[in-house]
Amino acid sequence: MLTTKQRILNASVKLFNENGVDAVRLQQIAEEIGISVGNLAYHYKSKDTIVESVYEQVIDEFLHIFRQYLQRPELADFDQQLSLYYRFFKANQFFVADFFKAGITETDHTTAWQQAVNKMLAQLRSWLLFHQQRTVLRAETTPGYYEQLAQSVWMLLVFYPILCTMRGRPCDEITYKQAIWNHLKPHFTEQGLAEYRADVLPLLTY
Amino acid sequence: MKKPPFSIDQAAYTNLLAGLNNLHFTEQKGNLSDFQLFTDDQWLADTAVIEQLTRSRGEWQVDLIFASIHNPLRFLKRHITANPCPKRAAQQGYYMRRLAAKDQRGTLTVSVAQLNLCAN
């Protein structure tokens, strides 16, 4: 049984995704979970406090994914992180949409988000380096090449669900993962390809 | 005034990740022989223990003697403590023996209060 506070946050995330953060009114949130606006006001004084709590929760979830970094050295380990990223970006698209606004003002959560994104990029870069050391990935042809690859993988991770929506194609976890692995595949060595076929491919074809 | 959220420096974070990466290259499984130390002392679990009081350097020295119940010639003597008062030395020896000896019924307890420690 969720607490009312948690139910309010869940309903807010759902409505933010559907209508955008600015378009949601307190009345809608209250209706969504079937409580009165007065009751809602008891838990959260204003919409700003709800938005703040939602952002806090979202960033917490995001940071949780980072903690799964390289728990095992195999390629398949990254696949689990991909599942988490997929669920996260699918569930919190409003967060990304926020950054499309022109003239965005710097707030606490935008800074936190920026830091988290930089962390994510650093992790991806570090993950690529690790597998280069393991001779699963080829050595960099030009210095800084994997930096760029990390950035393009990052873009896929964040924007692939949106890309699918724009193209009118369905996006499920498997296609999401396939897109990312296919992006990485050309950089694998023979050993990497063998490991990919043995460990990762079975996870993508069920 | 609200506390700003904790943030880690970018370079420090990259270093930390490099350390995590290295773990997978440097950390290796240990050998069973690393636990030799425990198996070496395993026989002490099946020993009879007696205390021994001897006068040495003006004090009563408490030693415990462990003898294997399977082979009495296999024994070990350990110096535990020393006390100028013979009664106290005997008392300490008694409780130390009770701590060290195998507790057949599993009902014996020793608490620190019984040792009658005096800070002076």
Closest CA relative to residue A119, chosen from B10, B34, B109: B10
Q: Is the pLDDT of residue A104 over 80?
A: no
Helices (H) then strands (E): counts for chain A? 11, 0
- Among chain A residues, the shortest Cα distance to B11 is held by A122
In chain B the first and final C-alpha atoms are separated, in Å, by 52
Q: How many CB pairs under 8 A join A and B?
A: 34
- Per-residue confidence at B67, pLDDT binned at 50, 70, 90? very high
Determine the pLDDT at residue B5. 67
- Per-residue confidence at B115, pLDDT binned at 50, 70, 90? confident
Number of residues that make up chain B: 120
- Percent of chain A predicted with pLDDT > 90: 40
B4-38, pLDDT tens digit by residue? 767 788 899 999 999 999 988 887 788 888 889 88
Q: Which residue has the higher pLDDT, B119 or B13?
A: B13
Q: How far is B24 from chain A (nearest CA, A)?
A: 6
Q: How far apart are CA A139 and CA A142, in angstroms?
A: 9
Residue in B13, B25, B26 to test binding to A, most A beta-carbons within 10 Å: B13
SS3 (DSSP) at B68:
strand
Residue A136 vs residues A9, A33, A74, A84: alpha-carbon distances, Å: 42, 49, 10, 23
- Percent of chain A predicted with pLDDT > 70: 99
Q: How far apart are CA A58 and CA A62, in angstroms?
A: 6
Determine the pLDDT at residue A121. 93
Q: Is B81 exposed, middle or buried (0-12, 13-18, 19+ CB in 10 A)?
A: middle
- B99 backbone dihedrals φ, ψ, rounded to 5°: -70, -40
Q: How far is A44 from chain B (nearest CA, A)?
A: 18
- Among chain B residues, the shortest Cα distance to A74 is held by B24
State the sign of the Cα–Cα–Cα–Cα dihedral A15, A21, A24, A28. positive
Q: How far apart are CA A195 and CA B33, in angstroms?
A: 33
Largest CA distance in chain A: 64
- Among chain B residues, the shortest Cα distance to A66 is held by B17
Q: How far is A167 from chain B (nearest CA, A)?
A: 36
- Among chain A residues, the shortest Cα distance to B4 is held by A108
With a CB cutoff of 8 Å and minimum separation 6, the contacts of A195 are: A74, A75, A136
B33-60, pLDDT tens digit by residue? 888 988 888 888 888 999 999 999 999 9
Other CB atoms within a 10 A radius of the CB of residue A173 amount to: 13
Taking an 8 Å cut-off on Cβ atoms, the answer to whether B7 and A115 are in contact is yes
Other CB atoms within a 10 A radius of the CB of residue B109 amount to: 8
- Scan residues 123-152 of A and list those with Cβ closer than 8 Å to B: 123, 125-126, 129-130, 133-134
Q: How far apart are CA B39 and CA B79, in angstroms?
A: 22
Determine the pLDDT at residue B46. 86
Residues in A closer than 8 angstroms to B20, CB to CB, are 69-70, 126
Q: Which residue has the tokens 């506070």?
A: A5
Q: Is the pLDDT of residue B2 over 70?
A: no
With a CB cutoff of 8 Å and minimum separation 6, the contacts of A206 are: A174
ipTM over 0.85: no
With a CB cutoff of 8 Å and minimum separation 6, the contacts of B65 are: B49, B50, B51, B52, B75, B76, B77
The model's pTM: 0.69
- Section A66-70 average pLDDT: 88
Determine the pLDDT at residue A175. 92
- Per-residue confidence at A118, pLDDT binned at 50, 70, 90? very high
- Section A10-24 average pLDDT: 88
A120-175, pLDDT tens digit by residue? 999 999 999 999 998 999 998 888 899 999 999 999 999 998 899 889 988 899 99
Q: How far is B27 from chain A (nearest CA, A)?
A: 11
Averaged pLDDT score across all residues of chain B: 87
Taking an 8 Å cut-off on Cβ atoms, the answer to whether A70 and B21 are in contact is yes
With a CB cutoff of 8 Å and minimum separation 6, the contacts of A28 are: A15, A19
Number of residues that make up chain A: 206
- Percent of chain B predicted with pLDDT > 90: 43
With a CB cutoff of 8 Å and minimum separation 6, the contacts of A22 are: none
Q: How far is A119 from chain B (nearest CA, A)?
A: 7
Q: How far apart are CA A43 and CA A48, in angstroms?
A: 12
Q: Which residue has the tokens 């069973």?
A: B32
